[in-house]
Amino acid sequence: MTDYKTVLLDIDQTILDFNTAETVSLTEALNSFGIKADRTVISTYHEINDRLWKDFELGTVTKDELKILRFERTLKKCNIKLDADKLQKKYTDCLSEQGILLDGAREFLDSLFLTAELYAVTNGISYVQKGRFAKADINKYFKGVFISEDVGVGKPDKRYFEYVLSKVNEKDKSRIIVVGDSLTSDIKGGLSVGLDTILYDVTKTKKADGIIPKYVASSYGEILDIIKQK
């Protein structure tokens, strides 16, 4: 039995607290235009944004379309009179400053970094993700960072993972594992190129038809145990 020597690690809601970052950024952006971001506006945005990212994973919307549609639809549904393009630009600037780590993520990275080569695999806007990585001070843990906007395709597209595999040092797939919180993005993508996968599911409730990870972990400790005990 040998350890996994390379980990392809998802970032949002696996390492960085995207849900909080999203709420803070939307609140700050709307406030800058004199608009209060109440609970209804925030929940509406969350729902619309989540749906559009799923559409992006399916290839039914482009990244450029997603960037503006989420704000156009939120403003329309909440009956807010504001230019969507101006709001999305302000929101993007605010989000790029949000490097909020999930509880225990720093300690997890410190430990994992000692046992494996880490590569970040993340769907997102390059400018935003690079800013958040810098704020969180996590670049030092990664041999490489693969942002979908830079790669040209995103998770779960097989081409994204093929590109990542072409760049990592390890060439033996049996020693590479994908870790992430999304069945339809991280796990589906990893499976598409024949990699072992760990679903990070704190709630132990995630399911998706036909997408079955090799492992499910509900804590960072469980992930570490899986990676070290192959």
Q: How crowded is residue 86: how many other Cβ atoms within 10 Å of its Cβ?
A: 13
Q: How long, in residues, is the chain?
A: 230
Of these residues, 12, 181, 186, 196, which one is catalytic? 12
- The catalytic position among 10, 181, 186, 196 is 10
Quickly list DSSP for 80-134.
--S-HHHHHHHHHHHHTT--PBPTTHHHHHHHHHTTSEEEEEE-S-HHHHHHHHH
Q: What contacts 106, CB < 8 A, 6 or more positions away?
A: none
In this structure, is the dihedral angle defined by the CA atoms of residues 38, 40, 44 and 50, taken in order, positive or negative? positive
Q: Is residue 12 annotated as part of the catalytic site, yes or no? A: yes
Phi and psi (nearest 5°) for 135? -65, -40
Active site residues: 10, 12
